[in-house]
Homo-oligomer: A and B are copies of this chain.
Amino acid sequence: AIEEADFLAIDGEFSGISDGPSVSALTNGFDTPEERYQKLKKHSMDFLLFQFGLCTFKYDLTESKYIMKSFNFYIFPKPFNRTSPDVKFVCQSSSIDFLANQGFDFNKVFRNGIPYLNQEEERQLREQYDEKRSQANGVGSLSYVSPSAAKCPVTIPEDQKKFIEKVVERIEDLLQNEESTSLELEPCTGKVDEEERKRREQQKQAKEQEELKDAVGFSRVIHALANSGKLVVGHNMLLDIMHTIHQFYCPLPEVSAFAVFLILLNLAGNVLGGRLLDTKLMASTQPFKDLINNTSLAELEKRLKETPFSPPKVESAEGFPSYDTASEQLHEAGYDAYITGLCFISMANFLGSFLSPPKNHVSARSQLMEPFFNKLFLMRVMDIPYLNLEGPDLQPKRDHVLYVTFPKEWKTSDLYQLFSAFGNIQVSWIDDTSAFVSLSQPEQVQIAVNTSKYAESYRIQTYAEYVEKKREEKRQAKRKWMEDGWKEADEKRLKTQATPYVLQKKMLFGK
C-alpha cells in the first residue's frame, strides 16, 4: 500500500500528554522552537504511542478519484524474551479517560498490540542471535551441546521425545527390578551427515530471521515509510513525529539550540518518508487562512466540504474498511489519519483553482505544495507559526514584549491593572511568578521598564534582556559542568552522538 501510494497520512494516539505542567503551561505563547522541543521532550516522551493510524492515498487518473487504504496499528512493547527491555511507560488519567469515552479498545493494545524495537535494540538482538550462532558453531552445533553446559533444564526436541521416553522407562525398570544389575542402552549420539546438518542449520537460521522480524514488529512499518520517500501528511503533527522518532528510531537526544535543527532534519530525511506536510499549518497559511476560522481537525474537515472548497472524491480499496465522515469516529488514529488525508486533498485541489486554466486535481507532487513542505505547526506560539525543518527558524522581532516577575499571589487581572495605561496588552504566563506581557506599541516598552525601576513587588525587563540573561545562565551552567571534570565524558559523548546528524545534514543538503 505504501509503495503504490501518492501520499500517506498518519496520526498517533498516546497514553498521555504531559507529566509535568498543564498543557497550557507547556505551550507558552513566546516559546522558541527549541524551547518547545525541549519541553515536549522533557514532559511527553515517557508516554506510549499506542495506536498508530496510517492511510495511503493513490490517485486513479481514469476515474478521477483517490483510492484509500486505512490501517489502525495497536502498539505494545511486549517483552520479546528474558533479556529484552522491559519498557515502563506512563499513563495520564485524563488522557485515558478521554480515550475511554471515545470507545478506545485498551484490550486490543495490551493483549494484541504489535511489538517494536528501536534501531539500537534491533542491533543488540541481531548481535545476540549472531553470538548464539557462532557459539553453537564453535562446539559443533547447538542441538548437540552437552546438557551440563546449559544453565537451565534441557528441552527435548519433539522428534527425540519418544526415544528418550523409552530409555527412561528402561532405566526405571532396572531400578525397580532388584534382580537386574546392568542394562545396555542403544547408542544415542545424533548421527547426522554433513548435508543434513547444513539443512538443519539453514532451517534454524530461517526461523531466527522470522523471530527477529516479529520482534522488530511495527518498526518495520516505520522503516517502510522512511524508505518510501513519499509525502507524509499529518495534522498538528510535531508530537506525533517526536514520539515516532523516540519510540521506533532512537531516544530523543539532549540537544543545544542548533542541534534541534539538525535532528529534525535527520528525522525528516531519514525516519518518515521524504517530506512532511502539516495540514494545521497549511490551513493557517494563505490563501487558506482567511477562509478558515477553526483549524481543529474535525472543524477543518467540515469546512473543506463547503464552497469555495469541494469535497474530495475518495473511495476505500476493496477489502479495506470504509469510514463514514457523517458518523464521526474521531480519535481513532486510522480515522484521524483518513480525514487528515481528505483535508490535504481538498486544500491541494483548491490551489488548482488559481492556475490558468484552473485544474480540479492537484497531485501531492505538484510544485504548488512546496511552500508547505517540512514546516511543523507550533501550537499556541504567537509569532512563530511553524518549526522549519529545512532552514533556520523565523526570528520574530519581540521588541514589544516585556518579561515581568511578581509575587505568586498575582493574577492576570493584576497584570492588566499594572499596564492599564498602555491600552491593549496580551499576557502569556510562564509560571506562578513570571509572564510575558506584549504591548501594542514597541515605543511603550522603554517607558514601562523605566517606571518599574523603583517598584518593589514586581520587576519588568525587555525581552532582549530576558534572552541575554537566559543565555548567560546557560553559559555558566556549561562552564560549571566543564569545570566539574565532565569535560572528557562530554567530548566522548559528543563524538559518538553528533556524527550521524552532521553526516545527515550533508546528505540532505546534497540532494
Q: How far is the CA of A228 from the CA of B231 in the complex (A)?
A: 65
Residues on the B chain within 8 Å of A79, using CB: 93-94, 97
In the complex the two chains form, is A89's CB within 8 Å of B86's CB? Answer: no
Within 8 Å of chain B (Cβ to Cβ): is A87? yes
Q: How far is the CA of A89 from the CA of B89 in the complex (A)?
A: 8
Residues on the B chain within 8 Å of A136, using CB: none
Interfacial residues of chain A within 64-105, with CB under 8 A of chain B in the complex: 76-79, 86-94, 96-97, 99-100, 104-105
In the complex the two chains form, is A86's CB within 8 Å of B92's CB? Answer: yes
Also in contact, A93 and B97, with CB within 8 A (given A106-B106, A110-B106): no
Residues on the B chain within 8 Å of A78, using CB: 93, 97
Residues on the B chain within 8 Å of A89, using CB: 90-91, 93
Within 8 Å of chain B (Cβ to Cβ): is A399? no
Residues on the B chain within 8 Å of A312, using CB: none
Within 8 Å of chain B (Cβ to Cβ): is A492? no
Residues on the B chain within 8 Å of A90, using CB: 88-91
When C-beta atoms are compared, the residue in chain B nearest to A100 turns out to be: B111
Q: How far is the CA of A105 from the CA of B91 in the complex (A)?
A: 17
Q: How far is the CA of A100 from the CA of B112 in the complex (A)?
A: 9
Q: How far is the CA of A94 from the CA of B97 in the complex (A)?
A: 23
When C-beta atoms are compared, the residue in chain B nearest to A115 turns out to be: B93
Within 8 Å of chain B (Cβ to Cβ): is A107? yes
Within 8 Å of chain B (Cβ to Cβ): is A341? no
Q: How far is the CA of A94 from the CA of B85 in the complex (A)?
A: 9
Within 8 Å of chain B (Cβ to Cβ): is A34? no
Within 8 Å of chain B (Cβ to Cβ): is A16? yes
Within 8 Å of chain B (Cβ to Cβ): is A201? no
Within 8 Å of chain B (Cβ to Cβ): is A19? yes
When C-beta atoms are compared, the residue in chain B nearest to A109 turns out to be: B106
Cβ of A67 to closest chain B Cβ, rounded Å = 34
Q: How far is the CA of A103 from the CA of B110 in the complex (A)?
A: 10
Residues on the B chain within 8 Å of A105, using CB: 107
Residues on the B chain within 8 Å of A15, using CB: 91
Q: How far is the CA of A461 from the CA of B85 in the complex (A)?
A: 34
Cβ of A150 to closest chain B Cβ, rounded Å = 15
Which of B76, B93, B100, B104 is the one whose CB lies under 8 Å from A86?
B93
When C-beta atoms are compared, the residue in chain B nearest to A98 turns out to be: B79
When C-beta atoms are compared, the residue in chain B nearest to A82 turns out to be: B94
Residues on the B chain within 8 Å of A77, using CB: 93
Interfacial residues of chain A within 100-137, with CB under 8 A of chain B in the complex: 100, 104-107, 109-111
Residues on the B chain within 8 Å of A48, using CB: 91
Cβ of A427 to closest chain B Cβ, rounded Å = 15
Q: How far is the CA of A94 from the CA of B16 in the complex (A)?
A: 20
Q: How far is the CA of A89 from the CA of B88 in the complex (A)?
A: 10
Residues on the B chain within 8 Å of A94, using CB: 79, 86
Residues on the B chain within 8 Å of A16, using CB: 88
Residues on the B chain within 8 Å of A109, using CB: 106
In the complex the two chains form, is B88's CB within 8 Å of A91's CB? Answer: yes
Residues on the B chain within 8 Å of A97, using CB: 76, 78-79, 110
Cβ of A98 to closest chain B Cβ, rounded Å = 10
Which of B19, B92, B99, B110 is the one whose CB lies under 8 Å from A96?
B110
Interfacial residues of chain A within 36-72, with CB under 8 A of chain B in the complex: 48
Contact digits for A17-41, partner B, Cβ 8 Å, 1 yes 0 no: 0010000000000000000000000
Interfacial residues of chain A within 246-284, with CB under 8 A of chain B in the complex: none
Also in contact, A93 and B106, with CB within 8 A (given A16-B88, A19-B88, A100-B111): no
Cβ of A272 to closest chain B Cβ, rounded Å = 25
- Listed by A's residue number, 14 A-B pairs whose Cβ atoms lie within 8 Å are A15-B91, A76-B93, A76-B96, A76-B97, A78-B97, A86-B94, A87-B93, A88-B90, A89-B93, A91-B91, A99-B110, A105-B107, A106-B110, A107-B107
Given contacts A76-B93, A89-B93, A106-B109, 17 further A-B contacts (CB under 8 A): A15-B91, A78-B93, A78-B97, A79-B93, A79-B94, A86-B92, A86-B93, A87-B93, A88-B90, A88-B91, A89-B90, A89-B91, A90-B90, A100-B110, A104-B110, A106-B106, A106-B107
Task: Report A's interface with B, CB cutoff 8 A.
Answer: 15-16, 19, 48, 76-79, 86-94, 96-97, 99-100, 104-107, 109-111
- Counting from the closest, the 6 A-B pairs by CB-CB distance are A106-B106, A100-B111, A87-B93, A86-B94, A77-B93, A106-B110
